[in-house]
Structure 1
Amino acid sequence: MTNEDIVELLDLSAKLMELHGGDPNKIKSYGTAAYYLDKFNERPFSEMTEAELVKLQGVGKSIAARIIEIVNTGTFPELQVLLETTPEGVLEMFRIKGIGVKKIQVIWKEMGIETVYELEQACLNGSVAKLKGFGGSTQQKILESIAFLKNQQGKVRMDKGAYLAGKLKEKLEQHFSSVAISGDVRRGAEIVDRISLLIGADSPVSVQRVLDGVEDLVKNEKESSPFIWRGILRDSSLPVDIRVVAPARLASELFLDSAGPDHLSRRAVDGTSLFQLVSRNNFETEETIYESAGLPFIVPEMREGIHEWSWSESRNANELVTWEDLRGILHNHSTYSDGRNTLKQMADYCRELGFEYLGIADHSQSAAYANGLTPERVSAQLSEIDFLNTQYATDGGRPFKILKGIESDILGDGSLDYTDDVLAGFDYVVASVHSNLTMTKSKAMERLLTAIANPFTTILGHPTGRLLLSRAGYEVDHKVIIDACAAHNVVLEINASPWRLDLDWRWIQYCMEKGVLLSINPDAHETAGYHDMRYGVTVGRKGGLTKASTFNALSLTEIEAWLDNRKRQLMI
């Protein structure tokens, strides 16, 4: 059990206790423990004794005992009783945006509704709107959230898709010498609805026998054939396709299985489509496919048939941004706000990874839910940054610096958190929306455009506020937003968290056409979060992002000069 697993079970316990009308003090105890333990990552709870656990903030003897039970058994008796007495459909309601535990309790206890389907029907016939404390607005939000969740069933985010595909590949490589990940994962899709792999082998029947015995694979006999194994991963609804191809066809089939239909319809110089060319011929590498077609090489991530061909008219694959091109990490959080690691820990690990600068951007004062910084605490953090930077400058190592940033909430009227004199003390400002997310398009646009026009806004953070597979973003006119960023010299963020990946990659090319720089930011709340940058790089490449258009590909000297120049312009 990971720390995250344990925190999730404690939080679920608090919700279920509240749902069943449990002891308020006990509910608070579990909720408080989950809140504080979520910020702790110095050691695995599974390695700690009960005596060590009770020393942690928010943990008493009772909670410590529950953690020990969870580590040993995966659960504890009281949670099991709560789960057994809660209909599965009611548990699913916790995923619905717009209703909390108290409203779910009313839906279940007063209306007798025990499934999401029944809740949807009750909303459609207007029954939910009549409940005290609900109304038409809440009813509509429930319907919209249910529709969104239904559309996301059987899908996973990029990070989980890549992880599952990688683990399955490792298992298969114990039996086969040629295994390749294809499909959504290889193409860098932000949402994966199928794990696809290819096996190069001469005997499909022999491969099928082995696959039928692989742990964690559940075969769908009806949909499988001698040449393709279809089924799901055990304990997952995610479909899996494993195709068996002749070894001489592996490169060709990998190409066909990893490109979108519109990409494959592109005509070669002889008039045949890429699909026809590759279907009829065996190629040793994907590079030779494009050479034979008389077309520029396109990396797997870009093979969508959307804009890669127009992109390739003036650029080539070698210009695409890579992990190695990144020189610094911007938009990160520390224990000053809602992060899990101290400022020094965040900086030291950033430096250990070989980066030249860390941009700290803790939450601003209006984000009370995230322990946002008051002006007094801003001053304390800036002083600590000065102190640490002095140490880094004199220790004889490679150049490294902490840049002074803030993630300033964009308030309801589009203004930024803090007064101008406080904002002026930062090297840069990431302006982001965190509240009132159910805006109309016109309200969202007014709010964002006002923030972009603010002279202190350096980077527009996660511009649509989406959470993949969980929450649709507020509607915006991307072209207008990008045009405004171009006009005001504002950088756009590609939030690399696999939950966000916002800005959407489909708008990257338009950003580059308008001269808008993009910053690949992890929004890291702990040191491990830095590695999410790889997902940002993937979607950046998918959208055609070049090193030249990547803000944090600038060296420390270059980015300091860029920020200083922008500040001087503010004073004109």
Structure 2
Amino acid sequence: MAGNRRNNRPPIYNFAPYLCLALILPPSTLLPVDNRALVRAFRLAAQLLELHDENQFKIRAYEGTASALEALSFPVSDVERTGLPDRTGLSKTAAARVAEMLDTGTFEELTRLLSITPPGVVELLQVKGIGPKKIRALWKELGVEGPEQLREAAENDEVSKLKGFGKKTQDAILAALEFSSQSQGKLLYPQAEQLAEDLAKRLQEALKTEQVAVGGEVRRRLETVETITLVAATQHPDAAHELLGHLDGLTPDPRRSGPFAWRGTAAPSGLKVEVILVKPADFTNQLFLHSAAEAHLSEALAEVPAGRPATLRQLLKKERFEQEASIYEKAGLQYVEPEMREGLGELKLAQEHKLPRLLEDADLRGSLHNHSTYSDGSHTLREMATFLRDNGYEYLGICDHSQAAHYANGLQPERVRQQQREIDELNKELAPFRIFKGIESDILSDGSLDYTPTVLETFDFVVASVHSNLRMDERKATTRVLRAIENPYTTMLGHPTGRLLLRREGYPLDHKAVIDACAKHNVIIEINANPWRLDLDWRWVHYALEQGVMLSINPDAHHTNGYADMRYGVFMGRKGGLTKEMTFNTKSAAEAAEYFAQRKATIKPPLEFKDSLFG
């Protein structure tokens, strides 16, 4: 069944800088406009309208367009422009704006708003914790027109004196600005992957060679990428430099470049790009050298006879290879997959031939932790289920938000029962496909779960996650999560740190204590596969496996396109050595059902909760 799966995930772009550059860059340098880009454009327009204190009806109209586009399960760019209103359900006016953006990369109202807004003020919309109204106050009352001016005003204690701000808000702004500055010049993995693959294809065509490959951070599948590295074989490096200097979207940096290395940046992200130019005979060696962390290349190999290369780097200097597998074979090592080449103990395992067969996307048989229109999802329960079934999976775990998540339309107990009745009906209709009754229960500030046991016992499984009060210190935060893990109804710990990559630091946790507790209480830990999260961090996967903790690759999908994020979770799991056997959602539907039932059978709810809310 796995062969039926499709990767329907649209590319993800940091769209605010893209839109600003859309006004000054020629069309040939612009990235393609997909559904996600459209959503962000219309949301940005709504934010800018609010920033300029314009008509509330217009603001809601643009927000409505964004929400409608987000709910679509097909690429809008594939629709005939004249058919947009019928296919999308948008008004003719909104559809015309969508068509304009598909054709030009922007639309008239957005262009107008950007033209009257300083670019630095647009950047401020990306700062966590301050919305358009607060930004307007900062801009109009303090003259703040960018992140650096905002930092200066906050450091001078000017922000706290504005009405509606205060010292706490000022401190939060400073923390957000510091995190943002550390994230500059980086992209999420999916963005970098698409950009790298596009550049590789264009370079192949320009150099008329097949020997162009993506290396570096992208090939090792790091969660965020600072530099895109390509290795290209050519007999004419001077000509390659000339070609690269004229490729749309690339800006050369002569100071960092050399005869055999072109370096520069890619528009509009500003991400660093390096192209290593090598002789065809050196291609494999150079790709290997530029696809592994220095610690992997320089780690001393065990039991090397005198006079033999003592590291992989030394071996590559001594001999040319045609295949990467031959490099490891020559060194007496088991082959190490590119994503594991970090110098974190993988060579010792390779020396002992103990590297496991890593998890693959085709091993996954179901998807857990997903949302529907019952809370903040874009697609109905039926749509989420049938899409997953039609793509070759056996089961769906639905985990809409719990009642404390007011911002996400969290489910009150009566709506829990309503959803569970619908699940019962759909399970009869869709069998053998199975929908498991789950919930993403908020972990409250004291570590308790967000329902009484009488509600919790109605679920097949419970994902416990932190969504609020993210500023606890490590001791309090860890104690809070440990208490949730100890709750017998907690089946799985969701996105352990709550981080949003490049946007928000994670919740401070004692990871060892949390993982040890999950091992003790038989709690699964998710690798949240949303590219903004990728949490549990891959650096803790190996420790979790050592403690016998099972992991689950969960997309946290809020729409059907979100299922394709599971591939990113698989990548992170593989980096940490995750296997099929230790991944929960490689179980069949029957095996998962048996696991949930057996686990629930061990729970002894307190006597005071024996009367069911649901009768």
In the alignment, is residue 84 of structure 1 matched against residue 115 of structure 2? Answer: yes
What SS does the corresponding residue of 2:602 show, helix, strand or coil? Answer: helix
Indicate if the aligned counterparts of 2:333 and 2:351 stay in contact, CA closer than 8 A.
no
Give the Å deviation of 1:262: 1.0
CA distance in structure 2 between the aligned counterparts of 1:276 and 1:31, rounded to whole angstroms: 58
Query: Following the alignment from structure 1 to structure 2, what is the Cα–Cα distance between the partners of residues 381 and 464?
Result: 29
In structure 2, how many angstroms separate the alpha carbons of the residues matched to 1:323 and 1:8? 29
Moved more, 183-192 or 70-79: 70-79
Query: What pairs up with 1:1-80 in 2 under 5 angstroms?
Result: 1-41=33-73, 44=76, 47=79, 53=85, 63=94, 66-80=97-111
CA displacement 1:195-221 (0-9 Å, x = unmatched): 111112333234334434433333223
Q: Distance in 2 between the 1:286 and 1:330 partners? A: 36
1:39/1:338 contact within 8 Å kept: no
TM-score by length of 1: 0.93
Aligned to 2:6: none
Contact 1:46–1:71 (8 Å) recurs in 2 = no
Structure 2 residue aligned with 1:420: 453
1:161 touches 1:195 (CA, 8 Å); kept in 2? yes
For residue 447 of structure 1, the aligned residue among 466, 477, 480 is: 480
Cα distance between partner residues in 2 of 1:422 and 1:48: 48
Q: Which letter maps to 1:387?
A: E
- Are 2:287 and 1:264 aligned? no
Q: Does 1:294 align with 2:332?
A: yes
Q: Which amino acid aligns with 1:391?
A: E
CA distance in 2, matches of 1:366, 1:461: 16
1:187 correspondence with 2:220: yes
* Deviating more after overlay: 197-206 vs 523-532: 197-206
Per mean C-alpha deviation after superposition, the further-off stretch among 306-315 and 549-558 is: 306-315
- Aligned counterpart in structure 1 of residue 151 of structure 2, from 85, 108, 120: 120
Would the aligned equivalents of 1:463 and 1:503 in 2 still touch at CA under 8 Å?
A: yes
Question: Between Structure 1 and Structure 2, how many residues are aligned?
Answer: 566
The alpha-carbon distance between structure 1 residues 33 and 392, as it changes in their structure 2 partners (threshold 3 A), is closer
Correspondence for 2:134: 103
SS at 2:386 equivalent: helix
The whole-number CA distance in structure 2 between the counterparts of 1:202 and 1:318 is 39
> CA shift at 1:356, angstroms?
1.9
Partner residue, 2:368: 330
Secondary structure in structure 2 of the residue aligned to 1:437: coil
CA distance in 2, matches of 1:205, 1:33: 49
Query: Aligned-pair distance for 1:351?
Result: 2.0
Name the counterpart of 1:307: 345
2:8 aligns with: none
State the alpha-carbon separation in 1 of the partners of residues 200 and 47 from structure 2. Answer: 38
- Paired amino acid for 1:4: R
8 Å Cα contact 1:3-1:41 kept in structure 2 = no
Asked whether the 8 Å contact 1:408–1:429 carries over to 2, the reply is yes
Change (3 A) 1:416 1:263: same
Shift of 1:442: 2.5
- Aligned residue for 1:244, secondary structure, equals strand
2:88 and 2:250 map into 1 onto residues whose CA distance is 40
SS at match of 1:358: strand
Q: Cα deviations across residues 355-399 of structure 1 (Å, max 9, x unaligned)?
A: 222211122222222222222222222222222222233xxxxx4
Moved more, 141-150 or 66-75: 66-75
CA contact (8 A) 1:152 1:469 kept: yes
From the superposition, tell whether residues 22 and 84 of structure 1 become closer, same or farther in structure 2 (CA, over 3 Å): same
Q: Residues of 2 paired with 1:482 and 1:27: CA distance?
A: 45
From 303, 307, 311, the equivalent of 1:273 is: 311
Whether the 8 Å CA contact 1:45–1:53 is kept in 2: the answer is no
Post-superposition offset of 1:427: 0.9
Q: Does 1:141 align with 2:172?
A: yes
Counterpart position of 1:544: 577
Is 250-259 or 497-506 further displaced after alignment? 250-259
AA partner of residue 123 (structure 2): E
The partner residue of 1:368 within 403, 406, 422 is 406
Deviation of residue 483 (structure 1)? 0.9
Contact 2:369 2:440 in 1 (8 A): yes
Paired position in structure 2 for 1:390: 428
**2:380: which partner in 1?**
342
**CA 1:183/1:386 → structure 2, altered by over 3 Å: closer, same or farther?**
same
Quote the Cα distance in structure 2 between the aligned partners of 1:212 and 1:35. Answer: 40
**Secondary structure of 2:436's match?**
strand
C-alpha spacing 1:438/1:55, structure 2 compared with 1 (3 Å): farther
1:219 counterpart letter in structure 2 = P
Contact 2:384-2:559 within 8 A present in 1 as well: yes
Query: Take 1:17 and 1:99, find their aligned partners in 2: how far apart are those partners?
Result: 16
Deviation at 1:61, TM superposition (A): 6.4
Decide whether the 8 Å contact of 2:373 with 2:379 is kept in 1. yes
- In the TM superposition, residue 538 of structure 1 has moved relative to its aligned partner by 0.8
After superposition, what is the alpha-carbon deviation per residue over 1:249-295, rounded to whole angstroms, capped at 9, x for unaligned?
22211111111111111223236122111122112222221222223
Secondary structure at the aligned position of 2:376 is classed as coil
Of the three residues 457, 463, 467, the one matched with 2:490 is 457
Instruction: Tell which has more relative contact order, 1 or 2 (C-alpha 8 A, sep 6+).
Output: 2
Deviation at 1:172, TM superposition (A): 2.1
Q: Which moved more, 1:485-494 or 1:523-532?
A: 523-532
Mapped to 1, the partners of 2:486 and 2:353 lie a distance apart of 31
Deviation at 1:313, TM superposition (A): 7.0
CA separation of 1:259 and 1:74: change in aligned 2, threshold 3 A: closer
Task: Indicate how the Cα distance of structure 1 residues 77 and 534 shifts in structure 2: closer, same or farther if over 3 A, else same.
Answer: closer
User: 1:398-429: CA deviations, max 9, x gaps?
Assistant: x4312221111112222212221221111111
| DSSP 3-state at the match of 2:400 | strand
Q: Which residue of 1 aligns with 2:240?
A: 207
Answer whether contact 1:311 1:544 (CA < 8 A) is retained.
Answer: no
Distance 1:200 1:210 in 2: 14
Q: CA deviation at 1:525?
A: 1.4
Change (3 A) 1:434 1:48: farther
Larger CA deviation: 496-505 vs 131-140 = 131-140
Please report how far the alpha carbon of residue 354 of structure 1 lies from its aligned counterpart in structure 2 after TM superposition. Answer: 1.9
How far, CA to CA, are the matches of 2:543 and 2:351 in structure 1? 15
Distance in 1 (CA, whole Å) between partners of 2:173 and 2:357 is: 45
Q: Unpaired runs of 5+ in structure 2?
A: 1-32, 606-615
Distance 1:385 1:215, change over 3 A: same
The code of the aligned residue for 2:502 comes to L
Give me the whole-angstrom Cα distance separating, in 2, the residues matched to 1:295 and 1:68: 55
Q: Is the 8 A contact 1:190 1:501 kept in 2?
A: yes
- Alignment of 1:157 with 2:188, yes or no, is yes
The alpha-carbon distance between structure 1 residues 295 and 389, as it changes in their structure 2 partners (threshold 3 A), is same
Cα deviations across residues 423-472 of structure 1 (Å, max 9, x unaligned)?
A: 11111111111122222223321221111111111010000000111111
- Distance (whole Å) between structure 1 residues aligned to residue 179 and residue 235 of structure 2: 44
2:533 to 459, 483, 500: 500
C-alpha distance in structure 2 between counterparts of 1:457 and 1:371, whole Å? 21
Structure 1 residue ranges without an equivalent (≥5)? 394-398
Q: How many Å separate the matches in 2 of 1:147 and 1:47?
A: 42
Partner of 1:396 in structure 2?
Answer: none
Residue type at the aligned position of 2:43: D
Candidates 477, 480, 486, aligned match of 2:510: 477
The partner residue of 2:553 within 507, 514, 520 is 520
Query: Partners of 1:389 and 1:144 in 2: how far apart?
Result: 47
